[in-house]
Every structure is written in structure tokens, then in C-alpha cells.
Chain A
């Protein structure tokens, strides 16, 4: 057992990464921007600035090292006991630095790059992580595992994530459109994680010809492509407000009330529960006519 563990640890450490720089130092990773972040010892005081990272840290057993999270981080329930450092959009650097963390994990976005630089000036190590699609989960978990010293549990979780990401699409038995905003209509394209969920659950995204994660389209295109389901990210079970608007009733699924309200906590972001999200989506699609 131990040998296997050691072997896998060595395997992780010796695996050549095509796009990573050679790491050096005790605990070093190369983050999404190519910067090298080094820690002398596994992180003990972590601030997570994305709900997905919070979930991942808890999932690999590093949850009790969290000293800060965003106001949106609501899963697992234990996360709510961790103090909030604001909504994180953009991060309030002072609030983040207040609990004296030795690692800050940020989602890779423009404003966050600036925040990471400011944290670096305060000598606080900050990693920027890409987390846009299912295939980003594995590398993200491994990086967190490395930085927190929980490489073993990270590896098993990462393996599960990788297998989910590389699973072939299920044969489509229904069609779907994800509506992010109604005026103007913004839908999800195949560049998005939500598209991946739908594909794995057996629902064809009627906008799979749109390469980007989200895009504005004409209402008549949605009506013409006639999806079976209209999915919205929503905590409530009520039909979305735009269902009452006359022009949206040109879409058959809206007329017939065929809405899928997907709670943002589970469906809105890639995370350790992504497999569960796929299963639930499929169950809902199969349950209704």
C-alpha cells in the first residue's frame, strides 16, 4: 500500500507536463499565468476566492486549513463556519490579507491577476487557477493537493475528475438551451462547462455550433431551433420572469412551461460534485415527458 502511494507520489512528481515549467524548491507549482509559486511547507492558512476551490479543498481534506472564503462559498456546510472575506469580485485585498494566510487561491481572471500581484507585494503567495471546463478540474485538484500536502487524496479525486472529463458524450435523447439572460437573449455555447454537463447527460445543446462559452442570439433562432427544454440557473422552482413575456412565447418550450431550474450551487461551476450534477440533470430529463 505504502509502496503504491510512494510510487504514485513519485509518478506525480516525475510526470512531465507539456506546458509547465520545471518546478523547483520544496513545494512549487506553476500557476495559470505561468508564474511559479513556492511554499516552504504545505499551506496551513488558506484563503479560497472561489466556491469551487472551497469545495475542492474540503474534498481533499484541507478544509480545516481554510481561514477565509468568499460570501458565495456555501458548500459543504462546514464552509460556512469559515470567515468570509467579501464577495471576491474583485477581491478586497486588505480583507484577504487580514487573516494572515500563507496561500491564496484565485480564479484566473483579469481583475484577479491584479489582486494576485498586490498580494505578492505583501509577500502572500497567490495562485491563479483556470477552472472553466471539466478538464480543468484534474490539474486544479493536483495543484491544490501539492500545495496543501494532501497529494494522495487529491490524486484520487483528480483521477475521478479526469475520467468524467474524458467520458464520451451520452447519446442525445433530448435537446436543450441554457438561457443566461433574456434581454438581450444570451445562451450557453459549446465552450462552456454547462454544455459539457448537458452532453454527458444526454441533452443536445441546440447552440452547439457556437464555439464560445456564451453569446447573444436572436430570439427567433431559439424559437426556430425548438429545444425540448429551457434551462436556467435559478434557486427557485418558479418559471423565470421572461416566461410571461409575449415574445418568448414563440419558443415552444416556454409556451409549454418546460423549464429546468438548476441551482447555481450544484450546476453553476465545475467542482467535485460535477458527476452528481450530470446524474441529477439526466434524472430530471428522463423523468419528465
Chain B
């Protein structure tokens, strides 16, 4: 029943993304309109894929680090991506894919650094250290980024930060194709880790004794969630709150069993971002709000409500 409701909500969100927009396209002309097919449809699909990826990554990371406040961007990836993008601009890297690739490379660098710092005793990942390392690496990358911006051509680099605040403007069928080819593997890894994540919620030792290969699960979940987030940042900048809030909303209806929670977080995250992007495009038309602003405006009150529920319960 709730799956039906979720599916309907997602469907409506996608339809709204295609039908609504600042450019007035009459309903009759929707299927023939170049604007709709070249811009709106790929943008709606991209919003769904990015939002879904962030939702699943957020839910998985919250289970991995055993912290309900975990957000995919807590692990230093946004700082790394920003640094990569700024370096690319500062050295005048050219080409239409220069910025996303550089951001992705920067995020990967942050991922590797945080992973290395999170390894204790050479082989075991300590999730608490992952969190701390993520914050530290993110702050470090942000500091270097600021230094580069202040020393180099200021105007262009300031505009680079606009990109980092999150937006689906670069959506095209090319971008969608890249994500469609890239995302299934990390998503599959995370879905396969659903039961072990349930066990991990009891603690690492009990999970091990129930038969989970705890070290392998931690490694895989961290890498898969981070790779999904890195791709999301590379194509659409930092879109906050989706990875943090969507898992909690999903838990209200689906509980904590990840076999149901992860798919629900995917569809819910996708629907939320599609709706947020539609609002970003339409509420101040012809101008556009950064989508990260809309997700925060929606996400923060929802989060406050959730906090109230928990403290009352």
C-alpha cells in the first residue's frame, strides 16, 4: 500500500517536472517540444537519479557510522569536489567535461584520504574515525580552495562556487547516460548490503557473530556510498538535506529493515529532488533558485518535525 503511494508520488513528481517549467509549453505541444525533450525530460530523470542516489547513500552511511545525523557530504567529498573544480578553473582546463571530471577526481581524492585515515590496525575501518576524518578532510580541502580563490582570478572562481551550491542546469541526455551507466554497480552493492546493515545496527561484534563479514561490509558500503555521492557532486554540485532527511522520512513508513528502506529511500529521494528542482525552476521564474536552497527550505522544517517526534516519543 505504501509502495503504491510512493510510486504514485514519484510518478506525479516526474510528470510535474516535465509539464511545469518557466518556459510556457502548452500541454498539446509537450511531446513535440524540443525544450521538453532536450532539457526538461533529461533534467527530470537526472534529478530522480541524483536524488535517489543521495537517499540510498545517506541511509547506508547512517547505518554504517551508526549515526542518524550522517549525511553523504559529511565524508569530505564536497570539499574535495570543490577543490577539484577550482583547480581546474585556475589552470584553465578546457572542455565541456572538464569541470565535472575535475570535481569527481577531487571527490575521489578525498574519499581515498578519508578511507586511509579511517583504517585502524591496517585493515579494519572504524566508522567513528571515518566521520571525524571526513570533517577534517572537508575542512582542509575548503581551506585550500579558499586560498586558491583568493590568489587567482577572483571573478571566475567565485562563479565556480555557484556551481558547487548545487543545480541540475547541466542536465542533458549525455549526463543522464553517464549516470545510468555508472550508478547501477554501487547501487547494487548497497542493496546487497541491506541485511548486513540490519545486523550492523546491533553493533559490530553481534553482527559478526550472526554471520556478517563485518569488515567487508563496512568497506563496500563506504566505497559504494561515497562513489555514488562523488558522481552526484560531479554532475550537480552539493545538494544538501536529501541524503540526511529522506532516510528518516522513509523509516517512518518502512521501519529500519534496509531491504525495504533502501529502495524506499531511492524512490523517495528521487521524487523529492524532482519536486525541489521543479520548484527551483518555477517559483521565481524567469529566475531560478539554486536547488540546494529549496531542499534546505523543505528539509529543515521536516527535520525539525522529526526531531520533535523523537523527543516526544
Contacts and interface: CB of A to CB of B under 8 A. Distances in A.
Contact of A217 (B35, B170, B286): B286
B58 interface: no
Interface in A179-197: 180-181, 183-186
Contacts of A183: 99, 163, 167, 169-170
A217 B96 contact: no
Given A218-B21, A245-B96, A223 B35 contact: yes
A268 B262 CA distance: 51
A217 B22 contact: yes
Interface size class of B (residues with CB under 8 A): 35 or more
B169 A249 contact: no
A209 interface: yes
Contacts of B172: 245-247
Interface string A107-148: 000000000000000000000000000000000000000000
A224 B95 contact: no
Interface in B1-32: 21-25
A181 B159 contact: yes
B180 interface: no
A219 B173 CA distance: 14
B174 A246 contact: yes
A196 B123 CA distance: 64
A250 B154 contact: no
A170 interface: no
Interface string B157-168: 001001100010
Nearest to B153: A87
Nearest to A206: B286
A262 interface: no
A220 interface: yes
Interface string B21-52: 11111000000001100111010000000000
A247 B285 contact: no
Most chain B C-beta atoms within 10 Å of own C-beta, residue among A210, A219, A241: A219
B248 interface: no
B290 A184 contact: yes
B173 A246 contact: yes
B39 A216 contact: no
A186 B169 CA distance: 11
B162 A247 contact: no
A273 B94 CA distance: 32
A132 B174 CA distance: 39
A221 interface: yes
Nearest to B168: A184
B154 to A, nearest CB: 5
Contacts of B173: 246
A215 interface: yes
Nearest to B177: A246
B154 A218 contact: no
A283 B285 CA distance: 33
Interface string A237-277: 00001101111011000000000000000000000000000
Contacts of A224: 22-25, 35
Most chain B C-beta atoms within 10 Å of own C-beta, residue among A218, A225, A247: A218
B286 A184 contact: no
A231 to B, nearest CB: 17
B258 interface: no
A218 B96 contact: no
Most chain A C-beta atoms within 10 Å of own C-beta, residue among B35, B99, B169: B169
B167 A184 contact: yes
A210 B169 contact: no
Contacts of B287: 210, 215-217
A219 B169 contact: yes
A89 interface: yes
Contact of A247 (B21, B99, B171, B286): B171
A242 B169 CA distance: 12
B288 interface: yes
16 contacts: A87-B154, A183-B99, A183-B163, A184-B162, A216-B162, A216-B288, A217-B287, A218-B21, A219-B39, A220-B22, A224-B23, A224-B35, A241-B94, A245-B172, A247-B171, A247-B175
Interface of A: 87, 89, 180-181, 183-186, 207, 209-210, 215-221, 223-225, 241-242, 244-247, 249-250
Given A87-B154, A183-B167, A216-B288, 7 more contacts: A183-B170, A216-B162, A221-B23, A221-B286, A241-B96, A245-B96, A246-B172
Q: Which 3 A-B pairs have the closest CB atoms?
A: A224-B23, A247-B172, A246-B172
